[in-house]
Amino acid sequence: MRTAPAKLETFRDDFTYTNSKEAIERFPFPFPEDEYAYSVNIEPHTLPGPAGSVNEFLFDIDEHYLSEMAERDLVLKENPKRCLAMPHMEPACWDFIDRAMTTMSADYPDYFKLEKNGDQWHWQNLLLKLDDTFTFGDSSTLPCPPMEYMGRQVQGDIALLDQRDGDLFLDAGIVTCPADWSLAFDAGMSFKEWHGPVPMAHEMGVFDRALKYLTAIPVDRPVRRLNWTLTVNARMDTSPETYPMWGAENRSVTPENVGEKVYLRVELQVLDRMARSNALMFSIRTYLISMDDLVTNKDWARRMHRVMKNLPEPLIDYKGLTHYHQILVDWLAKYDPVN
């Protein structure tokens, strides 16, 4: 079930973010096995997906929409470089506008409305109270650059990948809720360059296989995968730029507060080929669930314990879990008494 966008909640300071019962039930739990290993876990993103699920539509709009858009606005005011687009990516940015507006207005007609009259478009975002008429392809007719304009209206981060010379390059995007990576640092990098810090996967040839697959994605055949990490507190922005704000929080976990403070952070990553520019739209939709909420599902609780218990040391370090990993494993053990 999908709950309508609700009141504003915060992802910083007092951390008022919470999940409804419905949000917990539709959470994309990422572990199909008791042990986690890197793999090319890519599958077709067939649309529409199951009704009410996170996979139902190309862009998932849920109860946290208003809160996430407010957080995005705060981040961009603090650091406008969280949104960028290289000049040659202008067609891709307009592709993104077309794809987002067309699908969102069709999938959520109560929230978004689009009228096209040739190049004259009329867009209404009823949730954010936006009502704009513009000329498609003419950035001067928008209140801000096209990447930022549409990026401020979708949940999750967006990267636009230019494809050339058999590779993918991160040449545009809006990234305000990253899991410890920086758009400003990675901009212009090739596929393997921006995945450089990932341990173990390179030796296994994961990225070679992934790149071959991704560069062959056709139009109207999006694919998806899940990625995960853990975070302390319901903080969306865990970027290197803001590390002084959240780095010390990793040391604040205790056996008494682990259920409240530690969150499973799952990214639904969708790659969609855009027709005009041939760029890939890479959407990174982030979902957070506290351990207290996660263990209300007994199967998830048991599997979470086994995955954490068996996690290789390089991954514990890479995902930043070193300071509280054992505390979490010990806490989860009571939900998995036979293991």
113-142 core/surface letters (b: 16 or more CB in 10 A; e: else): bbeeeeeebebbbebbeeeeebebeeeeeb
247 is written with which tokens?
Answer: 């780095």
Beta pairing, strands 262-273 & 157-164 = unpaired
The secondary structure element, H or E, covering residue 103 is helix 90-107
Q: Are 121 and 98 in contact (CB under 8 A)?
A: no
Neighbours of 165 (CB within 10 A): 7
225 counts as catalytic = yes
Q: What is the rounded distance in angstroms from the CA atom of residue 96 to the CA atom of residue 103?
A: 11
DSSP string, 246-291: HGGGGG---TTTHHHHEEEEEEEEEEEE-TTT-PEEEEEEEEEEEH
Q: Phi first, then psi: what are they for 115, rounded to 5°?
A: -125, 130
Q: Phi first, then psi: what are they for 123, rounded to 5°?
A: -120, 135
Residue 1 class from Cβ within 10 Å (0-12 exposed, 13-18 middle, 19+ buried)?
A: exposed
DSSP strands (E only) in 83-214: 83-85, 112-117, 120-125, 130-135, 157-164, 167-174
From the candidates 225, 265, 273, 302, give the one annotated as an active-site residue.
225
Q: Are 26 and 1 in contact (CB under 8 A)?
A: yes
Q: Among 148, 145, 120, which residue's Cα sits nearest to residue 132?
A: 120
Q: Are 58 and 103 in contact (CB under 8 A)?
A: yes
* Positions marked catalytic: 225
